[in-house]
């Protein structure tokens, strides 16, 4: 057999194989996941994997799930996503911002497969996006931080300067300042989603600068461990991080992806799946606030829960004017709220944060 023929045959075979599940109803629906960290990170990826497990529980043998973990963002992601596509998955969830371009590129080559990209903003016919309004949770954390800080310095460990993280920084700061006008914020970029040693060093650096409340936007528990050593407090990120209760972990933002995953896989099974952008928050149950521990005085807890409830009921938006940008120009007028489009491309700090966003 000529080599060229062999390749052509195998490609044809492969195409036939990938198209097969759509025809044969008895075949389980294949659902693929791409994770940025290990499933045991105790944070971001861990929560996505809980969502995957919830799928298996919900649909039983009607579906089959696979995942590839610790996929680096960048060129290698495209290879991993292609691998899942070639393996005959019908729907593939790519669960980190940095997979955005790779997802779009692979989706172009596999028009029959449905893709779902988390936290990005690029969609296509067969690429939907989904995200959670973490900044709503940050508003609650910021309220606690503003009340609890004694040095009036709160710290934020950022991963990468992308809109999602900048929303979190702004939301935390706005709500901390609302309850404590003296508060200032120090920001350290770790340039990683998951690097426990680096995150610990970042927390130690903040503490050395007099910070006593640490908010983190990275996925390991290392900053909490450092906070504990120094008598500072912090919050669980992405997952509850309950091992550090009642202090230093005084509350947490929990990502709950299970309802969304079940809804979307059901849509594929029903044949009603469409490309769209979903962005739910506290109200939709995607963002949960973990237990506020006794390390926080009752009146602070009540204030935090009041913020949470007003966001959940829709009467309050965390980005409500009057708000100015860091350079002093006006962003939102009195009573005006930020649009989703503005937020999804947010690239400036609000007035009061003195740091600069790395460009």
Scanning residues 312 to 341, which ones bind another protein (CB under 8 A)?
none
Task: Return the C-alpha torsion angle 105, 109, 112, 116, nearest 10.
Answer: -10
Residue of 85, 148, 140, 87 whose CA lies nearest to 112: 85
Q: Min. distance of Cβ 247 from another protein in angstroms?
A: 12
Say whether residue 208 binds another protein (CB under 8 A). Answer: yes
Query: How far apart, in whole angstroms, are the C-alpha atoms of residue 197 and residue 194?
Result: 9
> Which residue, 114 or 245, has its beta carbon nearer to another protein?
245
Nearest residue (CB) to another protein, 65 versus 159: 159
User: Which of 220, 251, 252, 293 is the binder for another protein (CB under 8 A)?
Assistant: 220
H/E segment holding residue 234: strand 233-238
Closest CA to 268 of 82, 161, 126, 129: 126
The rounded distance, in Å, linking the Cα atoms of 131 and 144 is 24
**Is 189 a residue that touches another protein (CB under 8 A)?**
yes
Question: Least distance in Å: CB of 189 to another protein?
Answer: 5
Q: Of 58 and 291, which CB lies nearer to another protein in the complex structure?
A: 291
Minimum CB distance to another protein smaller for 112 or for 229:
229
DSSP 13-50: HHHHHHHHHHH-TTSPEEEEEE-SS-TTSSSHHHHHHH
Q: What track of x and - describes contact with another protein for positions 47 through 76 (by CB under 8 A)?
A: -----------------------x------
Our finding on whether 298 is near another protein (CB under 8 A) is no
Task: Give the integer Cα–Cα distance in Å for 162 and 81.
Answer: 22
Which residues are registered as beta bridge partners of 188?
157
Residue 166 Cβ, how far from another protein at the closest point, in Å? 13
Nearer to another protein, 141 or 187 (CB): 187
Interacting stretch for another protein, rule CB under 8 A, among 34-42, 107-115, 266-274, 342-350?
A: 34-42
Asked if residue 35 binds another protein (CB under 8 A), the reply is: no
Stretch of 60-68, 186-194, 270-278, 327-335 lying at the interface with another protein (CB under 8 A): 186-194
Question: Is the CB of 100 or the CB of 222 nearer to another protein?
Answer: 222
CA distances from 294 to 140, 225, 302, 327 (A): 16, 19, 12, 39
Minimum separation from the CB atom of position 293 to another protein (A) = 15
Size of the site for another protein (CB under 8 A): 43
Cα–Cα distance list, 107 to 84, 110, 240, 299 (Å): 12, 5, 33, 50
Q: CB of 161: closest distance to another protein in angstroms?
A: 8
Q: Among residue numbers 128 through 157, which ones bind another protein (CB under 8 A)?
A: 155
Contact 68, 35 (CB under 8 A): yes
**209 CB contacts (<8 Å, ≥6 apart)?**
153, 155, 186
Q: Decide: is 355 part of the binding site for another protein (CB under 8 A).
A: yes
Output Rg (C-alpha) for the chain, integer angstroms: 22
In whole angstroms, give the CA distance from residue 235 to residue 247.
9
* Under rule CB under 8 A, residue 38 binds another protein: yes
The distance of closest approach from Cβ of residue 330 to another protein in the complex, given in angstroms and rounded to an integer, is 24
The three-class DSSP label of residue 320 is strand
Phi and psi dihedrals of 126, rounded to 5?
A: -110, 20
Q: Is residue 309 a contact point for another protein (CB under 8 A)?
A: no
User: Which of 28, 196, 259, 285 contacts another protein by CB under 8 A?
Assistant: 196
Residues lying near another protein in the complex (CB under 8 A) are found at 37-42, 46, 70, 155, 186-189, 191-192, 194-198, 200-202, 204-206, 208-209, 211, 220-222, 225-226, 228-229, 242-244, 354-356, 358
């Amino acid at each position: 057999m000529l080599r060229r023929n062999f390749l052509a045959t195998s490609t044809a075979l492969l195409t036939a194989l990938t198209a097969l599940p759509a025809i044969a109803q008895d075949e389980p629906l294949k659902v693929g996941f791409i994770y940025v960290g290990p499933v045991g990170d105790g944070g971001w990826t861990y929560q996505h994997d809980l969502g995957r497990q919830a799928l298996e529980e919900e649909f039983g043998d009607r579906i089959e799930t696979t995942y590839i973990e610790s996929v680096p963002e960048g060129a290698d992601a495209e290879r991993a996503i292609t691998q899942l596509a070639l393996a005959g998955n019908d729907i593939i969830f790519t669960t980190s911002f940095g997979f955005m371009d790779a997802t779009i590129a692979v989706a172009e080559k596999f028009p029959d497969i449905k893709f779902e990209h988390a936290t990005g903003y690029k969609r296509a016919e067969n690429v939907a996006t989904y995200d959670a309004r973490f900044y709503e949770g940050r508003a609650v954390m910021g309220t606690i931080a503003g009340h609890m800080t004694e040095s009036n310095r709160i710290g934020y460990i950022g991963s990468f300067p992308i809109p999602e993280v900048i929303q979190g920084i702004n939301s935390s700061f706005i709500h901390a300042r609302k309850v404590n006008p003296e508060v200032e914020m120090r920001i350290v970029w770790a340039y990683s989603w998951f690097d426990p040693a680096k995150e610990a060093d970042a927390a130690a650096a903040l503490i050395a600068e007099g910070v006593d409340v640490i908010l983190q936007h990275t996925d390991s528990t290392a900053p909490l461990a450092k906070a504990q050593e120094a008598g500072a407090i912090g919050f669980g990120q992405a997952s509850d991080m309950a091992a550090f209760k009642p202090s230093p972990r005084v509350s947490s933002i929990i990502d709950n992806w299970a309802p969304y995953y079940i809804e979307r896989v059901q849509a594929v099974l029903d044949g009603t799946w469409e490309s769209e952008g979903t962005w739910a928050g506290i109200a939709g149950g995607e963002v949960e606030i973990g237990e506020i521990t006794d390390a926080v005085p009752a009146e602070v807890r009540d204030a935090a829960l009041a913020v949470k409830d007003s966001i959940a009921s829709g009467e309050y938006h965390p980005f409500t004017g009057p708000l100015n940008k860091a350079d002093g120009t006006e962003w939102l007028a009195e009573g005006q709220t930020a649009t989703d489009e503005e937020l999804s491309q947010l690239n400036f700090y609000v007035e009061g944060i003195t740091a600069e966003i790395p460009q």
